[in-house]
Amino acid sequence: MSEILTVVSYVVFFAALLANFANNFIRYMHMFQLNSYHAKEQVKWLGGNMPEIIKRHLCAVIMAILLIIFPFGSIAGLLSCGAVLGVFLLINLPKKAKKKLVYTPRVIRMCVTSVIVYAALVVGAFICGCYFPVVYIIAYPVIQLLSAFTAIIANVINKPVEMFINKHYINDAKRIINELPNLTVIGITGSYGKTSTKFYLNKLLSAKYNVLMTPESYNTTMGVVKTVRGSLSAVHEIFICEMGAKNVGEIKEICDIVHPKHSMITSIGEQHLESFKTVDNIIKTKFEIADCITDGMVFLNYDNEHIRNHKIDKNVISYGFSDKYEYYADNIAVTSKGTSFTVHHKDEESAEFSTKLIGEHNVQNIVGAIAVANKLGITLNELKTPVRRLEAVPHRMQIIDRGNSVIIDDAFNSNPAGAKAALDTLGLMEGFKILITPGMIELGEKEYELNKELGTRAAAVCDYVMAVGEKQAAPIVDGLKAAGYSEEKTYVAQNLNDALAKADSVKTGGAKKIILLENDLPDNF
């Protein structure tokens, strides 16, 4: 009977270890995916979430202590290990994610490698423990702690395989592009505005051409490769390729695959400073999309001083709000129903436009799209209807009318210039103005300063401000206080749902609520 109990104890103990490891590993793999499989960013996340890490790994430590108190083969040891496992699995239940872990082939390969690494460590510890029982007490908590780094280790082990697979996919994408000599590729990049402009340009060019664009925010090298291999065909006349980057050289890498005929830079600003380090590196990287153009056009938003002041020897088509530019907009009128404006092409042609979209920055992006479409043979008058039919890109100044309130959903990836533009738009609207925001991220050493500025700007526009997340809220609240904003009009919410519930309860004296959602942090923040 005692032998059976001992075997059962071993089974329960190892099952408990495996269950605890699996639960923790899935969490860490999810964060690793959100951190773009970058080890440095993953380690930073681990360091910034130590309370959660400790909570997750206390289970293994307590089980090791129980092994000292209750030896294998005892009912007390069996029950206590099972109880500890149950409690820790319960308190570490997976949270509802905004973006779930996607089990891509790469993730599956990392999972397989991680299981092999984990199994090798467990078996090795078990064999050693047969001769030196103290190994059980020391090794297994350490092995469980390694689950925090197993995804990183597996990624390093798999790197040669991943490089080989990626190279194969990239070469296949190059082959597909080269087999379509009549295809016109338009590259779009920018610190902000590139995804919205891509969607607008797709709609405008579709009035005359068969167009394919990279979907959603597929703007990395492998995202572009996936689009080319999975969707691009001989029926397409134009391919609009959005290009994003967090490091110098990443846009050039995409350009070397798709070879854009024309390119466009929508903006340059303080974004991804944690990886870029300086604005000069951002400028250099964004202009990689212009450097690759030989006989095509480079469309530049000259309202942006970083773009305007960077001189290049290319066929530049400027656009913005000044009559000094080749394409410009004026007579802009913004209401909660939409925006009207006039677009001029030098002194040659002009037309009046209207759109359901709100905000001057949307007009700026539309003018850029109009410039490209016009240069590719669609007249301004022909573009009136497509512009009028433009829909807001989800979570980018998207208007949601709820009857007694209007939500301006600008929750996607906020940045200093975008946040300023959103607040400027909010200021133009009539009603009781509420800002809900967790602030901005990935701004490096300037994160506190820029979020404090966000609070100061909000104080001049908003009737009520709700900062989301105690840690993230601090600089915003400091900015509000510096501007003399009333504490009675400030609320620090635990999460977005808490903030929305508070917004619904705020009394406005009969005025309609205009609620701006400025950014929504991903799960790894």
Q: What is the pLDDT of residue 72?
A: 55
Q: How far apart are CA 416 and CA 306, in angstroms?
A: 14
In a shared domain, residues 456 and 509: yes
Are 372 and 471 found together in one domain? no
14 in a structural domain: yes
Residue 266 lies in a domain: yes
- SS3 at position 454: helix
Residue 171, domain member (yes or no): no
The CATH number for 316's domain is 3.40.1190.10
Burial of 324 per CB tally in 10 Å (0-12, 13-18, 19+): exposed
Q: What is the pLDDT of residue 259?
A: 96
Number of domains in the chain: 3
Whether residues 498 and 379 share a domain: the answer is: no
Quote the DSSP letter at residue 468. E
Task: In whole angstroms, give the CA distance from residue 183 to residue 403.
Answer: 46
Does residue 206 sit in the same domain as residue 246? yes
Among 59, 73, 72, 56, which residue's Cα sits nearest to residue 5?
73
Q: Are residues 21 and 141 in the same domain?
A: yes
Helix axes 380-388, 194-205, angle to 10 degrees: 120
Q: Which among 339, 361, 388 is the end of a domain?
A: 388
| DSSP-derived 3-state class of residue 335 | strand
Same-domain status, 487 and 366: no
Q: Is residue 173 part of a domain?
A: no
Q: Is residue 169 part of a domain?
A: no
Which burial class, exposed, middle or buried, applies to 242 when counting CB atoms under 10 A from its CB (0-12, 13-18, 19+)?
buried
363 in Cβ contact with 353 (< 8 Å):
no
Torsion angle (degrees, nearest 10) of CA 284, 225, 364, 279:
-20
**Domain-embedded: residue 168:** no
Whether residue 478 sits in one domain with residue 457:
yes
Same structural domain, 375 and 404: no
In this prediction, residue 73 carries a pLDDT of 54
Domain range enclosing 321: 180-388
Q: What angle do CA 299, 304, 307 make, to 5 degrees?
A: 55
SS3 269: coil
Of 388, 411, 430, the one marking the end of a domain is 388
Structure tokens of 106? 């790469």
Same domain assignment for residues 206 and 110: no
Predicted local distance difference test score (pLDDT) of residue 369: 97
CATH number of 449's domain: 3.90.190.20
CB atoms within 10 A of CB 185: 21
Strands annotated E in 162-232: 184-189, 211-213
Which 8-state DSSP code applies to residue 192?
A: S
* Burial 2-37, CB ≥16 within 10 A → b, else e: eeeebeebeebbeebbeebbbbbbebbbbbbbbbeb
Of 348, 364, 388, the residue at which a domain comes to its end is: 388
Question: What is the pLDDT tens value at each position of the chain, 525 positions in all?
Answer: 456 656 666 666 667 677 777 888 888 898 898 888 888 888 888 888 888 888 777 766 666 666 656 665 566 666 666 666 666 666 666 667 667 888 989 999 999 999 898 888 877 777 776 666 666 667 667 777 788 888 999 999 999 999 999 999 999 999 999 999 999 999 999 988 898 999 999 999 999 999 999 998 788 999 999 999 999 999 999 999 999 988 889 999 999 999 999 999 999 987 766 777 788 899 999 999 999 999 999 999 999 999 999 999 999 999 999 999 999 999 998 776 789 999 999 888 899 999 988 878 889 999 999 999 999 999 999 999 999 999 887 777 777 877 778 888 887 777 777 788 888 888 878 889 999 988 887 777 788 888 899 899 999 989 999 988 878 888 999 999 999 998 889 998 888 888 888 888 888 888 888 889 888 765 545
pLDDT of residue 63: 64
